[in-house]
């Protein structure tokens, strides 16, 4: 397996959105620069969401102006509804990320819509994006477990993915939003979907809440998935709940994939600079499993030789 994988850095969006310490546009722009210096080429830096609901994202348009511009950089904005879509389009995003949760309860809490209303809203946005020539990725959120209703049937996640492809979504992201999934579920959900649509149209988005993100990412990679979300230093999750970690750490995903023969183009040493900036800005310790190991090696005076 010597091929490449894409890691889409969502730390500035999913990682920051629930952080209690306000992070300035300037600090976010510096983190974005450091990420790009580390080799990150795919970033989801903002969501166009109500500033009242998510104050950390209130500077979405302003931050967009400050992001590094290069032909090899691929930016996505998350859009919760049609208004958000229009703002993202007007800000110049070539790709938008939509969200469809798997249960009525989760959609109500997130978007104040039923599952059916949320699916119809996604269909409206997908149709508008197609007309505007904007690429789309639809997140099936809570694809493994719903924070309110518990484990989610495999067939439900699959049928929502199929519906979003049918509505014109270019890509579908299977998202373990609360880190409640396991690698067996990953196989059960993804294997039939990949047979139907091909692995190239899927993203996998994981949270390492219960320690199974690497196992799930590996299962997805083994099935042929080559596109993953991750968040620098594991930024994300609820900062008030110790142990309730956030997104799978970018550095842990880089280590998993690179050690298993998949090139990511991302340098873990370079990521450390971005992580240090993010830790300073959010006033919390950050860092995935592999960083703990590297730090312990360095403390013993050894070079942390990764592979």
Q: Which residues bind a second copy (CB under 8 A)?
A: 1, 150-151, 182-185, 187, 208-212, 214-215, 217-219, 222, 241-244, 252, 255-256, 259-261, 288-290, 292-293, 295-297, 299-300, 305, 307
User: Cβ closer to a second copy: 164 or 223?
Assistant: 223
User: Cβ closer to a second copy: 131 or 305?
Assistant: 305
Catalytic residue among 122, 146, 238, 305: 238
Q: Nearest to residue 175, comparing CAs of 110, 126, 256? A: 110
CA distance 100 to 80: 9
* Contact (Cβ atoms closer than 8 angstroms) between residue 249 and residue 231: yes
* 76-48-251-6 Cα dihedral, nearest 10 degrees: -20
Q: Is 305 labeled as catalytic in the residue annotation?
A: no
Report residue 5: phi and psi, to 5°. -130, 150
Distance set, CA 294 to CA 65, 106, 116, 251 (Å): 35, 38, 47, 11
User: Cβ closer to a second copy: 60 or 271?
Assistant: 271
Residue 197 has a CB neighbour count (10 Å cut-off) of: 15
User: Cβ closer to a second copy: 64 or 264?
Assistant: 264
Locate 5 and state its tokens.
């994988």
CA distance 158 to 269: 38
Question: Residue 174 CB, nearest distance to a second copy (Å)?
Answer: 17
The set of catalytic residues is: 238
């Amino acid at each position: 397996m010597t091929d490449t994988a894409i890691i889409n850095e969502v730390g500035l969006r999913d990682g920051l959105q629930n952080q209690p310490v306000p992070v300035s546009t300037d600090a976010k722009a510096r983190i974005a620069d450091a990420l790009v210096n580390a080799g990150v080429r795919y970033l989801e830096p903002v969501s166009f969401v109500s500033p009242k609901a998510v104050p950390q994202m209130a500077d979405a348009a302003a931050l967009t102006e400050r992001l590094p511009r290069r032909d090899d950089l691929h930016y996505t904005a998350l859009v919760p509804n049609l208004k958000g879509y229009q703002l993202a389009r007007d800000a110049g995003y070539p790709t938008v990320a939509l969200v469809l949760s798997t249960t009525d309860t989760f959609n109500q809490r997130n978007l104040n819509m039923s599952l059916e209303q949320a699916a119809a809203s996604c269909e409206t946005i997908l149709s508008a994006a197609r007309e505007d020539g904007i690429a789309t990725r639809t997140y099936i959120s809570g694809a493994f477990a719903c924070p309110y209703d518990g484990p989610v049937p495999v067939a439900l996640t699959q049928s929502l993915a199929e519906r979003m492809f049918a509505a014109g979504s270019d890509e579908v992201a299977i998202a373990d939003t609360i880190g409640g999934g396991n690698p067996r579920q990953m196989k059960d959900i993804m294997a039939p979907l990949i047979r139907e649509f091909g692995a190239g149209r899927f993203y996998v988005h994981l949270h390492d809440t219960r320690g199974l993100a690497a196992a799930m990412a590996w299962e997805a990679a083994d099935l042929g998935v080559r596109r993953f979300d991750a968040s620098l230093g594991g930024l994300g999750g609820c900062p008030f709940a110790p142990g309730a970690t956030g997104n799978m750490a970018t550095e842990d995903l880089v280590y998993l994939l690179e050690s298993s023969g998949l090139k990511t183009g991302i340098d873990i040493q370079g990521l450390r600079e971005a992580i240090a900036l993010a830790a300073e800005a959010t006033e919390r310790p950050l860092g995935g499993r592999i960083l703990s190991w590297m730090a312990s090696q360095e403390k013993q005076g050894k070079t942390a030789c990764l592979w």
